Amino acid sequence: MKAVIVPSFGDSDVLRVIDRAEPRPAPGQVLIQVEAAGVGYVDVMARKGDYQPLSEPGFIPGVEAAGTVAAVGEGVDGHWVGQRVFALTGRGAYAESVLAGVRDVVRLPEGVSAAHAVALGVNALVASLGLERASIKKGERVLVRGAGGGIGLMAVQLAALSGCEVTAITSSPERSDRLRDLGVAHVQDRTAGQDGSGNTYDIIVDPVAGADLGRYIEMLRPNGRYLLFGAAGGVPAPDAFGSIMTTYHNSPTLFAFSLNSVDADTVGAAAAELFSQAARGDLRAVIDEQVPLAEAHRAHERLESTPVFGKLTLRP
């Protein structure tokens, strides 16, 4: 099979397409013929050697894939063969075939393509399970930073579907228009100096962090919840969290949320619900570009240079 490997840590041009023997499923695993693999910042960090736990050079990146089950290992029901599925793979998805534990595999409903499944994938799971952890309620005011990014695009839609009033922060008039098309009530363009201030929020969804984190924590309403998902804007200064103390009498809650902390059954149930929402047309998968597998290096370059709108997917 064709696969993309990281032969040594470095820039996007280290990525190499190689021929490798198709893996065989171990007990409890399925072999998936990949139709789409997700490209995320986590893969960029793994390629650079910045992601813990560190993979030894020579690994195939890619934490999520969708396609058709081609074979099953010992102890796995044969009915999986031929099923269209999405899977969290841990690594290995940048390939024509990938292994996954059967507990990490979710069946895809009719009407949800492989590319759509990975475009929802990790990003929708993070947004959905994070909002659930923050006990999102109808009628609440939700602010989403990095709204045009992978997690942001899912968070704005899911918060709106929960009946919340959503404010999205993004970085251009074009991205603002596309967010309005997705049903966002209020859009703020940070390149025009709009930053969500002047209002307060029950929930702030933040995949950006960076130097402004403390200022955003101060925008929480009483009993507000802050969902920190990542640091696309850089790691915050240690004193940013001091805002929790200065706003102490509002009883703020800070959730740092990683999908890695959630058990497989909970992830599987959430993924099945998200794919049903997509099949019904309630939740939209947003794909920036479907890139051929052999051009994985270009997908990484794009992710690291210009902001993408939605997901980059790889097509073997």
Is 40 an interacting residue with respect to ligand NAP (CB under 6 A)?
yes
Distances (CA, A) of 284 to 116, 120, 147, 181: 8, 8, 14, 11
Interaction between residue 286 and ligand NAP (CB under 6 A): no
**25, 62, 92, 149: which one binds ligand NAP (CB under 6 A):** 149
CA dist 308 and 282 (Å) reads: 23
Residue 38 binding ligand NAP, by CB under 6 A:
no
If binding is defined by CB under 6 A, does position 147 make contact with ligand NAP? yes
> Per DSSP, what are the bridge partners of residue 17?
4
DSSP-derived secondary structure letter, 146: S
Residues 160, 166: Cα–Cα separation, whole Å: 6
Coarse DSSP helix, strand, coil percentages of the chain, rounded to the nearest 5 percent:
35, 30, 35
Q: Contact at 8 Å (CB) between 107 and 71?
A: no
User: Which residue lies nearer to ligand NAP by CB, 29 or 170?
Assistant: 170
Instruction: Describe the crossing of helices 296-305 and 41-48 by its angle, rounded to 10 degrees.
Output: 100
Q: How far apart are CA 70 and CA 98, in angstroms?
A: 10
Identify the bridge partners of residue 149 per DSSP, sorted by sequence position: none
Is 171 one of the binding residues for ligand NAP (CB under 6 A)? yes
Could you tell me the smallest distance in angstroms from the CB atom of residue 50 to ligand NAP?
A: 10
Looking at the Cβ atoms of 126 and 142, the one nearer to ligand NAP is 126
Beta bridge partners of 255: 227
Q: For the chain, give me the number of helices (H) and strands (E)?
A: 8, 15
Selected from 61, 146, 236, 316, the binder of ligand NAP by CB under 6 A is: 146
Please state the closest distance from residue 177 (CB atom) to ligand NAP, in A. Answer: 12
Considering only 152, 224, 236, 316, the residue that binds ligand NAP (CB under 6 A) is 152
Nearest to ligand NAP of 38, 101 (CB atom): 38
Q: Is 151 in the site for ligand NAP (CB under 6 A)?
A: yes
Q: Does 41 bind ligand NAP (CB under 6 A)?
A: yes
Residue type, 74: E
Phi, psi of 79 (to 5 degrees): -65, -15
Provide the mask over 197-236, with x wherever binding to ligand NAP is found by CB under 6 A and - wherever it is not: ----------xx-x------------------xxxxx---
DSSP 83: -
**Of the listed pieces 2-10, 147-155, 267-275, 279-287, which binds ligand NAP according to CB under 6 A?**
147-155
Residue 199 CB, nearest approach to ligand NAP (Å): 17
Tokens for 201, please give them.
Answer: 């929020």
Using CB under 6 A, which of 167, 170, 243, 277 touches ligand NAP? 170
Q: What are phi and psi of 2, to 5 degrees?
A: -85, 140
CB of 139 to ligand NAP, least distance (A): 25
Enumerate binding residues for ligand NAP (CB under 6 A).
Answer: 40-42, 122-123, 126, 146-152, 169-171, 175, 190, 207-208, 210, 229-233, 257-259, 307
